[in-house]
Amino acid sequence: MTTFAKTVFTAILIFTFSTGLRAQVQLFPMSINAPVNNAELVGIATQYVESLVKGEFKAADALIASNFMIYHAGGDSLNKEALIKIWKSYHADATGLSFTNGEILAMTIKEGPSKGDWALIWGLASWTPNVTKQPVYSYTHMALQIEKGKVIKSYQFEDNLAVMMQMGYQLVPPVTTSRQ
């Protein structure tokens, strides 16, 4: 390969990877302030999780803004009323709901589309479904946006496949037809 061809090939590779990477990251500088002990944000996030897990729905309602939305990695978004309704069904369909081994990081994003106060929570959710009577465990991560003392937005991530397999579901490969 000539020097010119190598140069062109290298330029194409750099262009391809640099544009592909840009599509996956924000193109503006983001200033983040991560205070070590923001007791207010940590307290609101803790109360939010504890009220839902303990089934204290009046307390949860008081901590959730009227324009609240929650987003999941693999599911539909829910508003405040739908969130409380689904948590009531969790309590009706399972026992021993808990969230342990958790950590909370409070932070403030100063600019950009995610501007505001956030609490990042991760820990181990567990419960025992009434149907299977077998405990289920799920490492869970939540990013809560907090405004004026209320949770206005939540992003929640967990491994739904691991949860389903613990509940007895099995993956079945699709049926394929062989071509002859």
Distance between CA atoms of residues 80 and 85, nearest Å: 9
What mean pLDDT do residues 85-96 have?
95
Which of 126, 74, 84 minimizes the C-alpha distance to 102?
126
- Confidence grade of residue 179 (pLDDT, cut at 50, 70, 90): low
φ, ψ of residue 107 to 5 degrees: the values are: -150, 160
φ, ψ of residue 76 to 5 degrees: the values are: -75, 160
Cα end-to-end distance, the chain, whole Å: 41
Which of 119, 101, 103 minimizes the C-alpha distance to 40?
119
Q: Which residue has the tokens 């009577």?
A: 133
What mean pLDDT do residues 79-84 have?
95
What mean pLDDT do residues 82-111 have?
92
92, 96, 137, 142, 148 from 168: Cα distances, Å: 20, 19, 13, 26, 43
* Share above pLDDT 70 across residues of the chain, in percent, rounded to a whole number: 76
Q: Is the pLDDT of residue 9 over 70?
A: no
Distance between CA atoms of residues 46 and 51, nearest Å: 8
9, 107, 136, 140, 175 from 43: Cα distances, Å: 55, 13, 27, 19, 51
pTM here? 0.76
Residues 6+ apart with CB under 8 A from 79: 68, 69
